[in-house]
Amino acid sequence: MSQKIRGVKGTRDVLPIDTYLKDDDPWVRIGHFHLVEQSARDLFPLYGYREARTPVLERTELFVRGIGEVTDIVGKEMYTFDDRGDSVTMRPENTASLVRAYIEHNVNQQEPETKWWYLGPMFRRERQQRGRYRQFTQIGIESLGSPGPRIDAEQIELLFRWLRTLEIPFEMHLNTLGDAACRPKYREALQAYLRSRASELCEDCQKRIETNPIRVLDCKNPKCQQVAAGAPKMEQFLCEPCKVHFQGVQEMLGRLGVEFVLDPKLVRGLDYYTRTTYEAIATSGLGSQSTVAGGGRYDGLVKELGGPDIPGIGFAAGVERMALLLAQQGKERAVRPVVFIAPLGDAEAARADALAQQLRAAGLAAEVSFRKANPGNQLKRADALGARFALVLGEQELKTDRAKLKELKTGAQHEVSLSALPDEVRRLATAG
Ligand code: HAM
């Protein structure tokens, strides 16, 4: 026998069945993904977002300039390779890609405000753990052209409503990172403070003092957290326009009925953010990787990537993390057959296939049995598939055109005419 080929570390298969269940990582099925995706497809257009799809492969430079050279993502997590002279990268996130497309297609000349949403796989070479994979799926939105703060509040309300609808337990965290006018002063003050306590920080954070001091604030190391607790706060350094913006976001969230907590440690892992940042954090069920969705404002990114000076704001949610939470709650969206047809012989099999064809043409999900088995076992199979009705076809049924449709949950038997089967099934299915 040839040797088995296993999937790549950090990637997962999502199947319709439970293939395995591990204590530290409950298996999610494709139905959990569908629930997350469908709810986004239903909700996001109500806010004016239209779907955009960009390629997985982009030029490496896009992420180096967009996300920032000194971030963990660009520094050590990208899947980058040489494509015969061009350096390309499998996208680690989608904001930079959408902004690239926005600039490339001159979208700002066609519309003053743009609202796009997206869904797709992202790639980061991270240490694998529960809720953290090397290929994962994001659903996100980006809005370009509105300086806020009303759009900021509208987006946060969208995320709030989406997670509430799915009954995901979470808290909305909110912060501001200031802008090009006030952040440099904060950075300097923070750096001076961190330098004075450098010996207490972990090795990574000692480096971050010079490269990316704000990231020290969200380091998970308890010693770094202790140092961070005494650090100067952005709030004290905000310029007047940033202060007014942040006040505005909070007031509007209050009006829209969105509950949130102010979190000065919410600094995000990508360099493009300005002003508002927000994260939805699961309050149970995800362990250490508890951020379900995160985002914020990126007013300088379009310009940084060679476009006009246009502001933007967005978020992305981790679909695997949401699916894990839904799996734990036993929630799923799965299509089950309405009718399972079990023929007893060859003549009946041909009729079963034709009946299934008619049912499907009428928009009813139908499955036929391809196995020879006694009626009892056929009913068991129908039950396992989760079918609503089962129909056993024998010689007698074909001759008389009458058959018994068994309702699997209740055991009720309904006599139906085979030649009018789609109508009969629809009538019974809507009756109860
Ligand atoms: P991010 O915080 O890097 O932001 O990722 C957003 C979400 O993607 C996270 O909250 C998490 O749920 C999920 N995620 C990230 N990495 C992984 C992983 N390795 N495995 C599983 N899930 C993961 C962004 O990507 C920004 N582009 C968000 C944004 C949009 N900002 C403005 N617009």
The residue nearest atom 12 of ligand 1, judged by CA position, is 318
Residue 73: the pLDDT is 94
* Cβ-contact 252, 151 below 8 angstroms: no
The band of 238, judged by pLDDT with boundaries at 50, 70 and 90, is: very high
Statement: residue 128 has pLDDT above 80? yes
The residue nearest atom 15 of ligand 1, judged by CA position, is 318
Kindly state if the Cβ of 126 falls inside 6 Å of ligand 1: yes
Cβ neighbours of residue 5 closer than 8 Å, sequence gap 6 or more: none
The band of 288, judged by pLDDT with boundaries at 50, 70 and 90, is: confident
Task: Report the relative pairing of strands 86-90 and 57-59 from DSSP bridges.
Answer: antiparallel
Ligand 1 center to residue 93 CA distance, Å?
A: 7
Residue 417: the pLDDT is 97
Q: What is the pLDDT of residues 82-102, one digit of tens each?
A: 999 999 999 999 999 999 999
The band of 329, judged by pLDDT with boundaries at 50, 70 and 90, is: confident
Kindly state if the Cβ of 143 falls inside 6 Å of ligand 1: no
- Rounded mean pLDDT of 34-47? 97
Statement: residue 349 has pLDDT above 70? yes
Statement: residue 147 has pLDDT above 90? yes
Strand ranges of the sheet holding 413-417, from the earlier edge strand across to the other edge: 366-368, 339-343, 389-393, 402-407, 413-417
Kindly state if the Cβ of 318 falls inside 6 Å of ligand 1: yes
The band of 360, judged by pLDDT with boundaries at 50, 70 and 90, is: very high
The residue nearest atom 8 of ligand 1, judged by CA position, is 318
* Cβ-contact 318, 136 below 8 angstroms: yes
Which atom of ligand 1 is least distant from the CA of 124?
19
- Tokens 């202790």 belong to 226
Residue 430: the pLDDT is 86
Mean pLDDT, the chain, rounded, equals 94
Kindly state if the Cβ of 140 falls inside 6 Å of ligand 1: yes
Kindly state if the Cβ of 183 falls inside 6 Å of ligand 1: no
Ligand 1 center to residue 30 CA distance, Å?
A: 20
Query: Rounded CA gap, 401 and 403, in Å?
Result: 7
Ligand 1 center to residue 294 CA distance, Å?
A: 6
- Tokens 């490269």 belong to 211
Q: DSSP class of residue 112?
A: S
Ligand 1 center to residue 242 CA distance, Å?
A: 25
Which atom of ligand 1 is least distant from the CA of 95?
27
Ligand 1 center to residue 374 CA distance, Å?
A: 52
Q: Among 226, 223, 194, which Cα is nearest to 208's?
A: 194
